[in-house]
Structure 1
Amino acid sequence: MPSTVVHAGFALLLAAGLLKGAYDRRTLAILLVVVTLPEADTLVGPWMDGAHRALLHNLTIPILAGIVVYWDTCYRERSWLRERFGGGGIRVAWVVLFVHVFAHILLDYAHLEGINVFYPVYDRFFRLEGELLVSTADGVIQTFVEFETNPETGEQTADVGAVGTTADTHVANPVELSEDPEPDDPILLPIAERGWELYLALTGLFVLIARRLQNRDSE
């Protein structure tokens, strides 16, 4: 699975494109804390079945957070966020929320058993798996969502990558390895298990250094 280093590298890349004029140390510190926070659900694993990739790896939390930010900034007579941090603080809040979803939650959605998308409202893991291509023989082919028809009842169902629930789904992690560890189980400090992961992490670090040097030259 993508390590915390990979998530952080991807977050720095997204932030570089979205935080124009606010790519400072304080903002980046907040961003990296929020992006890496979901990994804390591994610590609950020994006491809660399926906690990793469910408790903090879901879309329920960012959806609720987005509703709160929108309500505070658009409907309240006096916005707490605007009064405390100004208009720039509101932009940072939305960027941090966006990066949290795309640099961590949805990145894990495409690996191993995926994530428990709407936990605890709906306890079901989903993973993004399939392919989308254009074939000279079969035209457009996509297998991310597959439809099946029951030959006996004629009922049509859609397979969107459902895996299991917290009761029967375990995503191996450094705190909880698999019951029968295999050579590719996570080690204590995973950094990059694939070439593209190392590439992404190093690119994020390069962008961070480049932006800092650019800001220094402009001062």
Structure 2
Amino acid sequence: MAPTLVNVAFGVALGLALLGAAFDRRSILFVALAAALPDLDAVASLVVHGATNALLHNLWLPGVVAVALYWDTRYREESWLADRHGWYGVRVAWVSLASFVVAGIGVDLFSPSGVNLLYPVHDRFYAVVGILLFSTQDGLVQSFVEVGEGLLWLSSPGTTADYHVETWVNPTPGTGLERGVDRELHLVETGWQLVVVAAALVAVAIRLWEDR
């Protein structure tokens, strides 16, 4: 899974692009927290076996929230959210939901660790990994989707029963809170991730300075 800091950086970039007039310190904080929220399932893995990248990385939770939000803001005669927070609250809610799905879940889906998209209804991790290139001899070559078993023929590292996503909270299956275990909290793992984090920090700092 991508480091949480990278998820947050993607969330911040998404917020800068989508918040529009609703952008301020509070709204960008909500969007950033939404991007980090899915990674809390690593803490849940201390009591729920295989919960990392499954419990909060599936599409059911944001799906339910999206339906409830759409119903409240589009079909109710008086929207609960709009009545209390106006257009600002509605905009921040939708962008935060987008951040949760795209930056929180999507970024981890496009990594070797993968996510359990349909857990617990369908217990299987999926990872979108591969290459896309144009060769003068072979033409267009891609290895993201290949004929095989599984949802959309995506690569699958396993299920919650036989696959463990390593985190600093739970490095190995059943580690729990044992002492003497090597725990590594990865902030960034590659150069491009560092660029994304730095760019997000600079961009939000400039936007906040402009809105003073």
- Report the TM-score, using the length of structure 1 for normalisation: 0.86
Secondary structure, counterpart of 2:157 in structure 1: coil
Kindly indicate whether residue 89 of structure 2 is the aligned counterpart of residue 89 of structure 1. yes
Alignment of 1:118-197 (within 5 A): 118-148=118-148, 159-178=153-172, 187-197=183-193
Aligned to 1:152: none
Asked if the contact 1:112–1:171 (Cα under 8 Å) also holds between the matched residues in 2, the reply is: no
- State how many pairs are aligned: 205
Asked if the contact 1:126–1:160 (Cα under 8 Å) also holds between the matched residues in 2, the reply is: yes
Identity across aligned pairs (percent)?
40
Which runs of 5 or more residues in structure 1 are unaligned?
Answer: 150-156
Tell me the amino acid that sits aligned with residue 134 of structure 1.
F
Given the superposition, is the C-alpha separation of residues 84 and 111 from structure 1 closer, same or farther in structure 2, using an over 3 Å criterion?
same
Indicate the structure with greater strand content: 1
Q: Deviation of residue 166 (structure 1)? A: 0.9
Kindly indicate whether residue 201 of structure 2 is the aligned counterpart of residue 205 of structure 1. yes
Distance 1:93 1:121 in 2: 26
Alignment RMSD (CA, Å): 2.2
From the CA coordinates, give the structure whose radius of gyration is larger. Answer: 1
Which runs of 5 or more residues in structure 2 are unaligned?
Answer: 176-181
Aligned to 2:103: 103
Tell me the amino acid that sits aligned with residue 87 of structure 2.
G
Aligned to 1:8: 8
Distance 1:71 1:163 in 2: 37
Q: Deviation of residue 47 (structure 1)? A: 2.1
Asked if the contact 2:130–2:143 (Cα under 8 Å) also holds between the matched residues in 1, the reply is: yes
Q: Deviation of residue 187 (structure 1)? A: 4.3
Secondary structure, counterpart of 1:171 in structure 2: coil
Alignment of 1:45-84 (within 5 A): 45-84=45-84
Q: Deviation of residue 142 (structure 1)? A: 1.7
Asked if the contact 2:9–2:32 (Cα under 8 Å) also holds between the matched residues in 1, the reply is: no
Distance 2:167 2:146 in 1: 30
Tell me the amino acid that sits aligned with residue 170 of structure 1.
H
Distance 1:37 1:91 in 2: 19
The list of structure 1 runs, each at least 4 consecutive aligned residues, that deviate by more than 2 angstroms after superposition, is 186-189
